[in-house]
Amino acid sequence: MRLDKLLANMGFGSRKEVKQLLKKGAVRVNAEAVKDAALHIDTERDEVTILGERVVYKEFIYLMMHKPQGVLSATEDNRDRTVIDLLDADSQHFEPFPVGRLDKDTEGFLLLTNDGKLAHNLLSPKKGVPKTYYAHVEGIVTEEDVERFAEGVILDDAYLTKPGKLRILKSADVSEIELTITEGKFHQVKRMFVAVGKQVVYLKRLSMGPLSLDENLPLGSYRELTEEELNLLLQLSNN
Ligand code: URA
């Protein structure tokens, strides 16, 4: 990759600004000052520094966000704040997008990346990646609901869902449940409960495939995936 492209990709300014940095002699490749913007860099081998600081090249970014209510799982919107607005400029520079959608009023685990192939694979219906949700549900959730979810329920558009694994944590006027589903139809969890005559009043996604929400992440914040988390995800994506 060209040196100026690499530096621009890593957020050191536009190609033009990067040229200025090169002109000033701020950039070294393998300890040698370099002014040639077109120099080919082997991103695996060459060591690039700017003012003595190592530039570690990466193409992709993988973020886990604890999505709060009130923001859209979208990259831009004319009216509402989006999850991208919650990212700092360094992360935004990679142009990540949310992998799948959570409703505006849903909280919890959201993966953001610019790795289109990984996102595509994780969302593929063929993969059936499980997603687990915690919810408060108006109405007494019963064992009969557990059985109905296990068989799949018919949504308002006559779609028969795949089986869902429903676990009752508290059966009361406002019940608490966990539900694992392997598909992602529009408003699926809410509509599954409507199908059994109940209403979700609070929804939080706890996990997606092998990754669980880091409970140390405050609402609205995010962090990069650990190497271990990323490997689990890549394994799932590639199989
Ligand atoms: N199901 C829903 O109804 N809403 C979400 O945000 C996610 C799953």
Q: Residue 99 corresponds to which tokens in the numbers above?
A: 């992998």
The question of whether 156 is a catalytic residue gets the answer no
CA distances in angstroms from 174 to 137, 170, 198, 231, listed in the order given: 5, 8, 10, 39
CA distance 179 to 106: 14
Q: Residue 45 corresponds to which tokens in the numbers above?
A: 């081998």
- Of all protein residues, the one whose alpha carbon is nearest to atom 4 of ligand 1 is 187
For residues 83 and 17, state if they share a domain.
no
- Of all protein residues, the one whose alpha carbon is nearest to atom 7 of ligand 1 is 102
pLDDT in tens, 94-107: 999 999 999 999 99
| 190 contact partners, CB below 8 Å, separation of at least 6 | 103, 199, 200, 203
Give the pLDDT of residue 184: 93
For residues 119 and 234, state if they share a domain.
yes
What is the extent of the structural domain holding 181? Answer: 131-208
CA distances in angstroms from 202 to 136, 172, 191, 237, listed in the order given: 5, 15, 13, 30
Give the pLDDT of residue 14: 85
CA distance 52 to 54: 6
Q: What is the pTM of this model?
A: 0.90
Give the pLDDT of residue 62: 98
**What single letter denotes the amino acid at residue 12?**
F
CA distance 91 to 120: 21
- Are 144 and 154 within 8 A, CB to CB? no
Backbone torsions φ then ψ of 48, nearest 5 degrees: -105, 135
Rounded to 5°, angle at Cα 47 from 23 and 62: 105
Give the pLDDT of residue 15: 84
Total number of domains constituting the chain: 3
**CATH assignment of the domain containing 222:** 3.30.70.580
**CATH assignment of the domain containing 172:** 3.30.70.1560
For residues 216 and 102, state if they share a domain.
yes
CA distance 217 to 205: 14
Residues framing ligand 1 (Cβ under 6 A): 102-103, 106, 187-190, 203
For residues 102 and 219, state if they share a domain.
yes
Active site residue: 46, 77, 103, 157, which one?
Answer: 103
Q: Residue 27 corresponds to which tokens in the numbers above?
A: 């950039």
Give the pLDDT of residue 54: 93
Distance from residue 166's CA to the centre of ligand 1 (Å): 15
CA distance 110 to 231: 17
For residues 185 and 80, state if they share a domain.
no
Distance from residue 68's CA to the centre of ligand 1 (Å): 13
Residue ranges, the chain, pLDDT below 70: none
Q: Which of 73, 185, 189 to mutate to test the pocket of ligand 1 (most atoms within 8 A of CB)?
A: 189
- Are 188 and 166 within 8 A, CB to CB? no
**CATH assignment of the domain containing 7:** 3.10.290.10
- Of all protein residues, the one whose alpha carbon is nearest to atom 3 of ligand 1 is 187
